[in-house]
Structure 1
């Protein structure tokens, strides 16, 4: 047995198409995948990585040749998903001209922190609340939903909108600085 609480027979039944065994397997491996993702993903990507890995497990479990290799396969899949999500997040340059990178390289950390704090402070309450719970308190989407009385989907939507608004505000600051430099 490679993962605590999972019998080889459950894995084999899941591979054979037993939906109940697959559900049992996914529930059992989820904490391991989540813990591993916490170490290898940007905090904002952990839930997405876990979800993608579990989807991959459910779709590709039949490709696992050796039952004892499940944990290695899970960790490799999780690490790859974290890298993929990280590339997507850090490869984004909305201006396409290096303005954001220039701002990061030429603005002091203290000024960046001030700009970020201002952008978060200026968010409407419903967006600021979920952003702080997720990124500052490091709560899961489910925990935020329970605390706020919202659905998980609403939390994800508001979190995405909050991050977009903060990013747009910071990029606006960047554009303003660039425009001032050329005047």
Structure 2
């Protein structure tokens, strides 16, 4: 992606659709090469590239530092490759799985609903960090770049967000202290 210039990234970040299209097209070859070296299968590599391009399309406006664009995009591919590898390792063929493993206990709908409401009630600065780290699975340095914070600030906010959620869950009777 050495051919990409910062003005193209900045224009895409500002909402220029033509710049975003050029950025998507220019990013693909390097991402594919990187994904082929990083992922365990060629199918996973294609999936990781698609995930990265989708994130680029959806979240280019949230990129705070134009110079971090390339590392941000490669990190998405790397994280997706790791996620897919973990998924493959956890997969047990159905004919080899014990019958107890085939019964999945779904998370109760009321807990999902209440947890979603609790997350929505968190102050913005805690909610953003919690979503980036625990839902989107960004690393602390990635979240720090995305939010324009230090890694220590991200860790501190994440700890506080989780503590607030834990307190709310305890108060709601989901756990006993």
TM-score norm. by structure 2 comes to: 0.51
Report the equivalent of 1:94: 93
Q: What are the residue-to-residue correspondences of 1:7-156 with 2, within 5 Å? A: 7-43=5-41, 44-95=43-94, 96-97=97-98
* 1:60-108 superposed Cα distances (whole Å, 9 cap, x missing partner): 112211111111111111100101111222211133239xxxxxxxxxx
* 1:119-144 superposed Cα distances (whole Å, 9 cap, x missing partner): xxxxxxxxxxxxxxxxxxxxxxxxxx
TM-score norm. by structure 1 comes to: 0.49
What CA distance in whole angstroms lies between the structure 2 residues aligned with 1:88 and 1:74? 21
Greater Rg over alpha carbons, structure: 1
1:8 CA drift (Å): 1.1
Report the equivalent of 2:121: none
Question: What is the root-mean-square deviation in Å for CA atoms of aligned residues?
Answer: 1.6
What CA distance in whole angstroms lies between the structure 1 residues aligned with 2:78 and 2:98? 30
What CA distance in whole angstroms lies between the structure 2 residues aligned with 1:40 and 1:97? 32
More helix by share: 1
1:57 CA drift (Å): 0.7
Q: Secondary structure of 2:93's partner?
A: coil
What CA distance in whole angstroms lies between the structure 1 residues aligned with 2:29 and 2:84? 19
What CA distance in whole angstroms lies between the structure 2 residues aligned with 1:29 and 1:59? 15
Q: Secondary structure of 1:42's partner?
A: coil
Count of residue correspondences: 96
**Which structure 2 segments of 5+ residues have no match?**
100-177
